[in-house]
Amino acid sequence: MALSGMRGLSVFISDIRNCQNKEQERLRVDKELGNVRTRFKNEKGLTPYEKKKYVWKMLYIYMLGYDVDFGHMEAVSLISAPKYPEKQVGYIVTSSLLNENHDFLRLAINTVRNDIIGRNETFQCLALTLVGNIGGSEFAESLAPDVQKLLISSSCRPLVRKKAALCLLRLFRKNPDVVNVDGWSDRMAQLLDERDFGVLTSSMSLLVALVSSNHEAYWNCLPKCVKVLERLSRNQDIPQEYTYYGIPSPWLQVKTMRALQYFPAIEDPSTRRSLFEVLQRILMGTDVVKNVNKNNASHAVLFEALALVMHLDAEKEMMSQCVALLGKFIAVREPNIRYLGLENMTRMLMVTDVQDIIKRHQAQIITSLKDPDISIRRRALDLLYGMCDVSNAKDIVEELLQYLNTAEFVMREELSLKIAILAEKFAPDLSWYVDVILQLIDKAGDFVSDDIWFRVVQFVTNNEDLQPYAALKAREYLDKPAIHETMVKVSAYILGEYSHLLARRPGCSPKEIFSLIHEKLPAVSTSTIPILLSTYAKILMHTQPPDPELQNQILAIFRKYESCIDAEIQQRAVEYLELSKKGAALMDVLAEMPKFPERQSSLIKKAEDTEADTAEQSAYKLRTQQQNSNALVVTDQPSANGTPPVSHLGLVKVPTMTNVDRNLADQGETELNGTLTVVDPQPPSALSPDVLGDLLGPLAIEGPQPASTQPVHNLGSGIGIAPNAEDALALATVEEQTATVQPIGNIAERFHALCLKDSGILYEDPYIQIGIKADWRAHHGRLVLFLGNKNMAPLVSVQALILPPSHLRMELSLVPEIIPPRAQVQCPLEVVNLRPSRDVAVLDFSYNFGAHLINVKLRLPAILNKFFQPISVSAEEFFPQWRSLSGPPLKLQEVVRGVRPMPLPEMTNLFNSLRLMICPGLDPNANNLVASTTYYSESTRAMLCLVRIETDPADRTQLRMTVASGDPTLTFELKEFIKEQLIIIPTAPTAAAPPGPPQPQPTSPPPPVSDPGALLAGLL
């Protein structure tokens, strides 16, 4: 028996080993803990040796699974011991007992740092090891520079440097900012020239982490990695001790190939050639050998090479070699290799176009689904799930349903979810989908989550064609003697809604359906009874002419549950009983459920939410975010009989309008409401000057920029507007191909909401959601567009074009042409405001989904008020300024009519949210508001703007507005802007002020008054 070198410790371990049972062991441990505790209390009497011994004992007890809630301090304090033996124990025990979140660890930072920067190499190693194993972000911030120094130091032994490399890796994972990319990439490249394999191996791990977060900064490392790999694969100059069963460090080979997978492509031809030679050699030259270790090592390298080939999207020939190899692997008996074959085939599905070749192995894969090893079955399941498409969905789902009978409980839930998703995604027809889900519930009801049966109800509700079929199926299942409660729920629900569609069939009269369902009631739980009651109520409502016998039966049941202890049941019973007395009203209340709004399948969401947790983001995942996946095929195309595609159901059908139409029509409508001034999203040359300019010319408000806006209500009727709206429609349909996709939510409302806040949704339809987030600094703005694909299929031909008005300089970063399934792409948009203007930038956005081309033109909320910086001014600042801007064109006044009536506090809020800061108390009249802000543009620089609003409490639809600033254009634009905000509100009521001639007073300057109070008060 080997001895520990510490007698006390060995004796204790022996004692523990000799304990007959757990109870004895506990007693012995408690005794020892008591002993250690008293010794620690009286610390003065402890020799360093004793201290060390007790700390080891604590660790041993801890390892046995007992809680050790004291002595942490002693362990940590040993770190600062001057001699190696104690220090070593301190470090090791601390890193076992504590984790990065412990406060005690903070106490040690200084000592640890001193050891790292000190001269004692052994201490350096101990300290680096502790930090590398349990260092947290606090360590990262205070120690990273020192660790970096050690790693590149020429005076340190490799021993220290390899630890420094991994220690730095830990710190980088805790806080990526600690590695300064600029200076570090050259150092990193130098490290790859390292002769010592320990340092090289450690550095390669560091590189993997660095490139996974920012490959661009480390391009210079790419050729070096290829060199390392070449050297290893040719076994050139590799020290004997770094070969493992004759294979030059398989671990370094694997790491190097892992690092290479984070570079998107290899452009240098000679580097590329060298790498492919190496890969070719690995692919061709790896044989199966008898020695298990050698075999594993060589296959570790081979599988990494496969992953790299897949990544490099190599020539077809090499890819087909890979597929062939994997095909061989999934058929071998050796379980590890078969497992990896299945796993890598699943990965291959995600990156390359090999679906058809893989499909040839379907039978072989299904055999693995029946393997006794659950690990292999899981991989087979994942692969089948991944390779499923319309062509093989029926077979695969059939297999999975069969497997459900024998699968162990831990897998059934996942399996059920996968079956439900595949059935939903690839259903060749919807009746098949219903069949599968009902089978699923029948076979594995306990494992079918509510989401699954909710989903089938959604589909049936949204598809009229499906309803009789579903009702018939539900009726069939109810005939079975013992059915799962979930089946009772779903059948009852469907029959309640749709059994009347079956009424003429034998055995499907309301009475028969009712008694069939009611038979199940005694066996169901309280959560199901309310559903049954609803079903009874629906049956009652559908029974026309009423059947008195059935009615009595059902009412008796309601009465019975009227006093049920379960609140939900009681409520429904009482309500249905009351409703049933209402006669015709019952028909309305219990009418068929409306269609569900289209929503993302909660199942698919659930399946995706189980994101893996990995230290480095996986290379192939990163890649699939960039490129289109061929693996996911969506079959939502309209089926032959013309029923609308499944996932588009529930949309309101307004087939003739495109989004653009709708957008413009919205404007048209509001125009008709007499509340809108035309804000044409197109750059100037468009409609308004030509069509409206002439008509309205005489009525236009004077100002520096004539005719770009006209208060439309001045026309007195909507007649003048109609041509405009129609023209706009016509124009849109000529320009755009029709897309029959409806936006979700009102585009105009979304835009207006975004005018007042800086983040939110700009646009949404069933396929895409465009979010926006903006950050404004003086005359600069940075918007980020978030383009989120909501589907399981990619959006292609994505195009985003910015049509900026002349006063904005806008730069949109590259928008990818393809948005992968369920991915979100962020596109920053830089904005510079050149001069004051109310013109609006437009985003011309289009994409293809399936056969649809969808094009929308969206106004971007980069509008005038975004360049405001609210500023509060005092009376002393305000009045001199207000006076000095004495009249037009710097100060303009106008009476605005047709204002949306709102109480003053609401108007105050509106101004504040427009970043026009209301300064209370400046105006003595309580009905008036005074606001100030600073406007930023390149031409005006920072410019103070002052606004005064005088309201008439007797008539809230009109007010007088005075706007002043040091720039005439700004004054005018701001005045018009505020006017727009006061009168156009997307949900504005139709009622507007009766049209009347405009008040011809904008140009008249207020009389010069010296007293500011009188000036303000005397105006109205």
Partner 1 sequence: MIRFILLQNRQGKTRLAKYYIPLEESEKHKVEYEVHRLVVNRDPKFTNFVEFRTHKVIYRRYAGLFFSLCVDITDNELAYLESIHLFVEILDHFFSNVCELDLVFNFHKVYLILDEFILAGELQETSKRAIIERMGELEKQE
Site residues for partner 1, window 515-544 (CB under 8 A)?
none
Q: Is residue 167 a contact point for partner 1 (CB under 8 A)?
A: yes
What residues contact 464, with CB distance under 8 A and at least 6 apart? none
**If you compute the radius of gyration of the chain from its CA atoms, what whole number of angstroms results?**
37
The DSSP code for 565 is S
Residue 13 or residue 756: which is nearer to partner 1 going by CB? 13
CB of residue 620 to partner 1, shortest distance in Å:
8
- Helices 548-561 and 510-518: crossing angle in degrees, nearest 10, is 30
Dist CA 136 CA 910 (whole Å):
47
Residue 21 or residue 38: which is nearer to partner 1 going by CB? 21
Stretch that binds partner 1, among 95-103, 565-573, 916-924, 1003-1011 (CB under 8 A): 95-103
Q: Which of 672, 670, 665 is nearest to 743 (CA)?
A: 665
CB of residue 360 to partner 1, shortest distance in Å:
24
Residue 4 or residue 571: which is nearer to partner 1 going by CB? 4
- Where in 175-204 is the site for partner 1 (CB under 8 A)? 197-198, 201-202
Beta sheet of 768-777, edge-to-edge order:
759-764, 768-777, 780-789, 824-833, 808-812
Q: With contact defined as beta carbons under 8 Å apart, do 825 and 815 qualify?
A: yes
Taking CA 233 as the corner, what is the angle to CA 227 and CA 237, rounded to the nearest 5 degrees?
75
Dist CA 922 CA 289 (whole Å):
91
Residue 65 or residue 921: which is nearer to partner 1 going by CB? 65
CB of residue 70 to partner 1, shortest distance in Å:
13
Q: Is residue 60 a contact point for partner 1 (CB under 8 A)?
A: yes
Residue 299 or residue 412: which is nearer to partner 1 going by CB? 299
SS in 3 state form for 98-114? CCCCCHHHHHHHHHHHH
What six digits make up the tokens of 901?
């009536």
CB of residue 223 to partner 1, shortest distance in Å:
23
Tell me if 53 is assigned to a ligand binding site: yes
- Where in 112-131 is the site for partner 1 (CB under 8 A)? 122, 128-129
Tell me if 8 is assigned to a ligand binding site: yes
CB of residue 308 to partner 1, shortest distance in Å:
11
CB of residue 8 to partner 1, shortest distance in Å:
13
Stretch that binds partner 1, among 32-40, 58-66, 530-538, 785-793 (CB under 8 A): 58-66
Q: Is residue 244 a contact point for partner 1 (CB under 8 A)?
A: yes
Stretch that binds partner 1, among 251-259, 502-510, 538-546, 745-753 (CB under 8 A): 251-259
Dist CA 420 CA 432 (whole Å):
12
Residue 248 or residue 820: which is nearer to partner 1 going by CB? 248
CB of residue 613 to partner 1, shortest distance in Å:
5
In the set 33, 58, 92, 369, which binds partner 1 (CB under 8 A)?
92
Q: Is residue 625 a contact point for partner 1 (CB under 8 A)?
A: no
CB of residue 608 to partner 1, shortest distance in Å:
14
Dist CA 268 CA 997 (whole Å):
74
Q: Is residue 756 a contact point for partner 1 (CB under 8 A)?
A: no
CB of residue 100 to partner 1, shortest distance in Å:
5
In the set 111, 233, 249, 855, which binds partner 1 (CB under 8 A)?
249
Stretch that binds partner 1, among 32-40, 98-106, 459-467, 960-968 (CB under 8 A): 98-106
Q: What is the length of the chain?
A: 1020
Tell me if 183 is assigned to a ligand binding site: no
CB of residue 648 to partner 1, shortest distance in Å:
34
Task: Check whether the bond before 264 is cis (ω within 30° of 0).
Answer: no
Q: Is residue 74 a contact point for partner 1 (CB under 8 A)?
A: no
Tell me if 56 is assigned to a ligand binding site: yes
Strand ranges (E), 221-345: 243-244, 247-248
In the set 205, 368, 667, 708, which binds partner 1 (CB under 8 A)?
205
Element housing 761 (H / E): strand 759-764
3-state percent breakdown (helix, strand, coil) of the chain, nearest 5 = 55, 10, 35
Tell me if 251 is assigned to a ligand binding site: no
CB of residue 278 to partner 1, shortest distance in Å:
17
Q: Is residue 47 a contact point for partner 1 (CB under 8 A)?
A: no
What six digits make up the tokens of 972?
């005018």
Number of residues that bind partner 1 (CB under 8 A): 83
Q: Is residue 802 a contact point for partner 1 (CB under 8 A)?
A: no
Tell me if 606 is assigned to a ligand binding site: no
How far separated are the first and last CA of the chain, in Å rounded?
Answer: 104
Distance of CA 1002 to the CA centre of its chain: 51
In the set 5, 269, 953, 1007, which binds partner 1 (CB under 8 A)?
5
Element housing 858 (H / E): strand 852-859
Q: What is the largest CA-CA distance in the chain?
A: 109
Cβ burial 355-392 (10 Å sphere, 16+ → b, else e): bebbeebbeebbebbebeeeebbbbbbbbbbbbbbeeb
310-339 footprint of partner 1 as x/- string (CB under 8 A): -------------------------xx-xx
Q: With contact defined as beta carbons under 8 Å apart, do 741 and 720 qualify?
A: no
CB of residue 231 to partner 1, shortest distance in Å:
16
Distance of CA 664 to the CA centre of its chain: 31
Q: Is residue 238 a contact point for partner 1 (CB under 8 A)?
A: no
Residue 244 or residue 786: which is nearer to partner 1 going by CB? 244
CB of residue 397 to partner 1, shortest distance in Å:
23
Q: Which of 906, 1013, 914, 990 is nearest to 951 (CA)?
A: 906
SS3 state at 768: strand
SS3 state at 958: strand
Residue 101 or residue 405: which is nearer to partner 1 going by CB? 101
134-153 footprint of partner 1 as x/- string (CB under 8 A): x-x-----------------
Q: Is residue 21 a contact point for partner 1 (CB under 8 A)?
A: no
Q: Is residue 96 a contact point for partner 1 (CB under 8 A)?
A: yes
930, exposed or middle or buried, with CB in 10 Å at 0-12, 13-18, 19+? buried
What six digits make up the tokens of 608?
């995706």
- Where in 339-378 is the site for partner 1 (CB under 8 A)? 339-340, 372-376, 378
Tell me if 425 is assigned to a ligand binding site: no
Instruction: Provide φ and ψ at 825, rounded to 5°.
Output: -110, 140
Residue 226 or residue 307: which is nearer to partner 1 going by CB? 307
Q: Is residue 3 a contact point for partner 1 (CB under 8 A)?
A: yes
- Where in 585-624 is the site for partner 1 (CB under 8 A)? 610-616, 618-621
Tell me if 49 is assigned to a ligand binding site: yes
SS3 state at 894: strand
Q: With contact defined as beta carbons under 8 Å apart, do 544 and 583 qualify?
A: no
Which residues lie across from 315 on neighbouring strands?
none
Stretch that binds partner 1, among 241-249, 907-915, 938-946, 1004-1012 (CB under 8 A): 241-249
Q: Is residue 293 a contact point for partner 1 (CB under 8 A)?
A: yes
Residue 224 or residue 378: which is nearer to partner 1 going by CB? 378
Dist CA 551 CA 540 (whole Å):
7
Residue numbers in the known binding site are 7-8, 49, 53-57
